[in-house]
Amino acid sequence: MMARVFYTFCFILIILIGILPVYLYGQNIHQEDTKELRARAESRYLADTHKIPIRRYFHSTEIKPDEVINGHVVVVKGDLGIWGKVNGDVLTLYGDVEVFDNSAVNGNITSVGGRVILHDNGKVEGNMLETHWKNLLTDQNSFLRFHSYDNYTPYSKFEIPDSDHQIALRYNRVEGVFLGLEVPRQWRYPTAHLSGYGFVGYGFESKDIRYQIGLDRWFIDSMDYRTEIGAEYHDLTDTKDLWRVGYTENSLAAVFFKQDYHDYFRRKGFSVYLRQNLTRAFLIGIEYRNDDYESLRSNTNWALFGGDKNFRRNPLLGGDEGTMRSIYTEISLDTRDNFEHPRKGWYINLSA
């Protein structure tokens, strides 16, 4: 009985932690420098702003059926309903655009942090784009356009807004509820020669602490011809089944349906690596890894639903237990215009 109460409490905590960033994100919108974001959005999404006039609104607005606007329309922190005609581009920040029947936009429509809704008999001559406000914070010309292989991607994470720390949270039959904190790599600071990263967490059923700690140091150039050396040490609960289902989906399946699709093992060791950017977008790297592999057993059989159904036993490694030393190499091409919300570009990674 106590175990069921405990896990129900943990499940509620998972939901609350998932909702909290959404709430903070909504609060954060009103604290952003809206003027700067608007200027960036206008520069990026409006055509010929030095020639075409811009009509700006800072509240929800309607363009009436008999109204014709010759120029761009920008709405900040409000929705835009179009019944009339716009001879120009349309841009909204933190609001929706709705193009009703028998209306027309002779240009592009962009909604930053909102939606674009087109009715059947509405007409849009240009493109319609829904994008995220974070895309406005990244300058494509100054962002560090290099990509680095993360030796371990630990858990599904709920990002804490305006923080470099992330909460790691998952549930499985080996660890039960796992809760941790991650400090990710920092790539946006060209003067930061040293970059520390890592995470630490605890499995409440396995009663094991898992962690990773690493340090990078770059030389020569921070962007185009960056040379980077680094090392990290880790003690992880790992899996090779991420190609089947991600951590978030697997945790939800385990919590609700008592179905865990991953098989787990302990991996403890270290790695030392060297990476070289030949251009901003092209990277080669080599890494030495030394890992001890150990089998793990199942430690919980709880789920919200599933009745008398049992989790699968976590399989043993058998002859694969022991120490493995290996050389890892990679070649990476990354021309994406934004890492989190790319609109164009290529990402190719070859490793062996």
- DSSP string spanning 121-138? T-EESS-EEEE-GGGGG-
Break the chain into its structural domains and give their ranges.
2-26+141-351, 35-137
State how beta strands 61-63 and 80-82 pair: parallel
What is the structure's pLDDT at 191?
43
How far apart (Å, rounded) are the C-alpha atoms in residues 172 and 263? 10
- Taking phi over 0 as left and psi of -120 to 50 as alpha, with beta for the rest, 84 belongs to beta
User: Mean pLDDT, 10 residues at a time, over the chain (352 residues)?
Assistant: 57 51 46 74 89 93 94 94 96 93 94 88 89 64 36 38 63 95 65 76 95 87 77 96 90 95 97 90 94 96 91 93 95 75 78 86
Nearest-angstrom CA–CA distance, 332 and 146: 9
Q: What is the pTM of this model?
A: 0.56
Question: Can you tell me which residue has the tokens 């709920």?
Answer: 158
d(CA 254, CA 105): 48
Question: Do residues 335 and 346 lie in contact, with contact meaning Cβ atoms separated by under 8 Å?
Answer: yes
**pLDDT value at residue 33:** 59
Q: How far apart are CA 211 and CA 231, in angstroms?
A: 14
Name the token pair of 148. Answer: 């680095």
Q: Which two tokens stand for residue 108?
A: 């592009």
Separation between Cα atoms, residue 302 and residue 45, nearest integer Å = 51
Q: Tell me, what amino acid is at 169?
A: L
pLDDT at residue number 338: 58
pLDDT at 141: 38
Q: What pLDDT is recorded for position 334? A: 85
Separation between Cα atoms, residue 195 and residue 184, nearest integer Å: 9
Distance CA 20, CA 190 (A): 32
DSSP SS3 for 207: coil
Cβ-count burial of 190 within 10 angstroms (0-12 exposed, 13-18 middle, 19+ buried)? middle
Residue 281: the pLDDT is 82
What tokens appear for 100 in the block? Answer: 């009703």
- For residue 26, what are the β-bridge partners? none
